[in-house]
Chain A
């Protein structure tokens, strides 16, 4: 069974600090996808990044970076020089192919990030 653990329930940082959100996953599949979504107060989940299990290259997008390590089953997300607009709940998710050809997506419980001005 697949599982996603986000051990950090809430994090508070002061603006311009760096912050890392942790994500640990469990799966028996060799082919899977990992995602990060952002949920601002408005409610909708906003897709941030996708990673497949065969690509362990770290990725940087502006102030955001992701560190994928299969050896530790982790897919951590770092925000550099945090801003108040980064305040949101962040979800890590795992997708693996299930029988029948459709994907099963499991979300972590989310990490609420508060950036204090």
Chain B
């Protein structure tokens, strides 16, 4: 079956702009999590959605937001981009949050965002 699909793969934006990243989970998976990966901070949890509701949130400023649609596809948005937002953004899906925590998540290949 198809894996987790993230689009676009690469993105270059200018400081101050906003960006929207997309994630399509594995069919049947309703839990979608987002992570930011940077060389200095490693993998940091952004938020998790389940059935269109944000269930869990990491310690990121309000410029980072997300949503999930009825088909479980998720988008994350970053407004007023800063240079420090340059990172690999990874999406992960699981049937449920509990299953993801118990059995592991399936990750997408990520969107590499560069802010200039």
Residue of B nearest to A98 (CB): B56
CA distance A97 to B56 in the complex (A): 12
Residue of B nearest to A105 (CB): B101
Number of residues on chain B facing chain A (CB within 8 A): 28
Q: With an 8 A cutoff between CB atoms, is B2 at the interface?
A: no
A to B contact number (C-beta, < 8 Å): 71
Which stretch of A15-23, A65-73, A75-83, A107-115 is in the interface?
A107-115
Are A45's CB and B48's CB within 8 A? no
Is chain A's interface secondary structure helix, strand, loop, or mixed overall?
strand
Known: A43-B88, A45-B90, A45-B92. A101 touches B109 (CB 8 A): no
B19 CB, nearest partner CB in chain A, Å: 18
Which residues from chain B contact A101 at a C-beta distance below 8 Å? 97-98
Q: Lowest 8 CB-CB distances: which A-B pairs, in order?
A: A103-B101, A102-B97, A109-B42, A95-B101, A45-B107, A107-B43, A47-B104, A43-B110
- What residues of chain A have their CB less than 8 Å away from a CB belonging to chain B? 33, 35, 37, 42-47, 50, 52, 91, 95-98, 100-110
